[in-house]
Amino acid sequence: MECQNYNITRDVERENLNLNPLQRGGILPKEAREALYDFGDGYSVCDYCAGRLDEIAKPSIGGFLEDLAKFLNVDDVRTTHGAREGKFAVMHGICNPGDVIVVDGNAHYTTHLAAERAGLEIIEVPSSDYPEFRTDMEIYQKALENAIDEYGEIKLAVLTHVDGNYGNLSDANEFGKICSKLGVPSLLNCAYSMGRLPIDSNGWNIDFVVGSGHKSMAASGPIGVLGMKHEWADTMLKRSPRHVKKEIEMLGCTSRGAPIATLMASLPHVIERVNKWDEEVKLSREFVANLEEIDGITQIGIKPTNHDLVRFDTPILHEISKIHPRKGFFLYEELKTRKIVGIKRGQTEWFKCSTYGMSKSQRNYITDSFKEIVGKFIK
């Protein structure tokens, strides 16, 4: 049998400035790229495994998990195959089919899918209207109280720490207080925050926290992080009676090979960059202000932004698309000629982007490019 040419090549990061918010936090540092080469084979971290992934000493996965727990301020931590798998593990572990959970209106679709897969009923707390789409914690508390009054017991409350549509940073500390006061276990989805900004799970009184290694922690992935208070360890880390070393909710073992090796190699780099989060937010706000100098480009979501992911309404670009021979593809093509990628082909009414990790000069080049493009077609 002959296989077709799959064209497995990629030069996006080497040749361009990538604005895709999904990818900015997952760029590997040099140390992780070296680990990727060494541990690229499937079960490469399992050379010295005695049955428990978290107890492997070479490489020191056990030591890494201890450091990761300190970094997030959690009692117990495991890696998963992604944030969505972490959410599902919690829902499956502490809930029963038919139970009711409460989630915020900006929840990622994987929160819904995890709940549906676990057979749970979802009550959604609405976010505010355009243009902020804010998750108001007073409204969340009222919705949670109403759900308790109606159903008697709510097995889990979920909050998206930073949502993937608008980059809104929600109040995790207030969420923890509300859930603790009402006696509802809390889960904080940190897919866009863990590895970018400081996480203080126990300080916020959060029961469970999940994150994404490949989205925000400079790992090749797919890999996620699941942290928890120690009181949940007996439930979430319960072992199989038949295979006594294997934790049931983790299906025995989770990430093997390159995903966990790159996450381990990147942790010192991630810890260092988290300490520079305030500077990152400052640069992001400057980027927004510069882009909003263009009449017809406006940031939506909470202002000023508290995150690198930002969303813009861009009616001026949509107007250009109506008269341009390439229609909606003109923006992608104009940016690509300037070595800027990450905005979807055909998208002109709005876009979301991130300049996380870029220098100030790179960000200025991007905003100057947008100004040049608009000026080219609008006289």
pLDDT of residue 11: 81
pLDDT of residue 9: 78
Tell me which fold the domain 12-19+277-377 belongs to.
Answer: Aspartate Aminotransferase, domain 1 (3.90.1150)
Strand order in the sheet with 350-353: 298-300, 310-313, 350-353
Tokens of 315: 């009616």
Instruction: Tell me which amino acid residue 200 is.
Output: D
pLDDT of residue 84: 97
CATH 3.40.640.10 positions along the chain are: 30-273
Instruction: Tell me which amino acid residue 320 is.
Output: I
The per-residue pLDDT of the chain, averaged, comes to 96
- Given a cut of 90, whether residue 166 has pLDDT beyond it is yes
| Among the listed residues 63, 115, 52, 54, the one whose alpha carbon sits nearest the alpha carbon of residue 84 | 115
pLDDT in tens, 344-376: 999 999 999 999 999 999 999 999 999 999 999
| Among the listed residues 80, 114, 120, 99, the one whose alpha carbon sits nearest the alpha carbon of residue 247 | 80
pLDDT of residue 10: 80
Residues 263 and 194: beta-carbon distance below 8 Å: no
DSSP 157: E
C-alpha radius of gyration, the chain, whole number: 22
> Coil, helix or strand for 91?
helix
Other residues' Cβ atoms within 10 Å of the Cβ of residue 148? 16
Q: Which CATH architecture has domain 30-273?
A: 3-Layer(aba) Sandwich (3.40)
pLDDT in tens, 264-295: 999 999 999 999 999 999 999 999 999 999 99
- Given a cut of 90, whether residue 378 has pLDDT beyond it is no
Instruction: Tell me which amino acid residue 100 is.
Output: V
Residue position matching structure tokens 């989060």: 277
- Given a cut of 80, whether residue 189 has pLDDT beyond it is yes
E strands of the chain, at which residues?
Answer: 17-18, 76-80, 100-104, 121-125, 156-160, 186-189, 208-212, 224-228, 298-300, 310-313, 340-341, 350-353
Q: Check residue 73 and give left, alpha or beta (phi > 0: left; psi -120 to 50: alpha).
A: left
E strand or H helix at 315, and its extent?
A: helix 315-323
| Among the listed residues 186, 263, 280, the one whose alpha carbon sits nearest the alpha carbon of residue 221 | 263
Tokens of 63: 């030591």
CATH 3.90.1150.10 positions along the chain are: 12-19+277-377
DSSP 373: H
State how far the Cα of 107 lies from the Cα of 160, in Å rounded to an integer. 6
pLDDT in tens, 87-111: 999 999 999 999 999 999 999 999 9
Separation of first and last alpha carbons in the chain: 58
- pTM value is 0.96
pLDDT in tens, 200-253: 999 999 999 999 999 999 999 899 999 999 999 999 999 999 999 999 999 999
pLDDT in tens, 324-333: 999 999 999 9
Beta strand 350-353 with 310-313 is antiparallel
pLDDT of residue 1: 87
The b-or-e profile of 263-272 (16+ CB within 10 A means b, else e) is bbbbbebbee
Residues 229 and 176: beta-carbon distance below 8 Å: no
DSSP 247: B
| Among the listed residues 332, 367, 364, 325, the one whose alpha carbon sits nearest the alpha carbon of residue 348 | 332
> Coil, helix or strand for 158?
strand
Name 253's Cβ contacts closer than 8 Å, sequence gap at least 6: 53, 246
Average pLDDT value for residue range 157-174: 98
pLDDT in tens, 4-21: 887 877 887 778 999 999
Give rounded-to-5 percent helix, strand, coil for the chain. Answer: 45, 15, 40
State how far the Cα of 156 lies from the Cα of 151, in Å rounded to an integer. 13
- Given a cut of 80, whether residue 379 has pLDDT beyond it is no
Phi, psi of 209 (to 5 degrees): -135, 135
DSSP 252: B
Strand order in the sheet with 156-160: 76-80, 224-228, 208-212, 186-189, 156-160, 100-104, 121-125
| Among the listed residues 188, 306, 208, the one whose alpha carbon sits nearest the alpha carbon of residue 249 | 208
* Percent residues over pLDDT 90 in the chain: 92
Average pLDDT value for residue range 20-47: 94
> Coil, helix or strand for 22?
helix
Residues 173 and 204: beta-carbon distance below 8 Å: yes
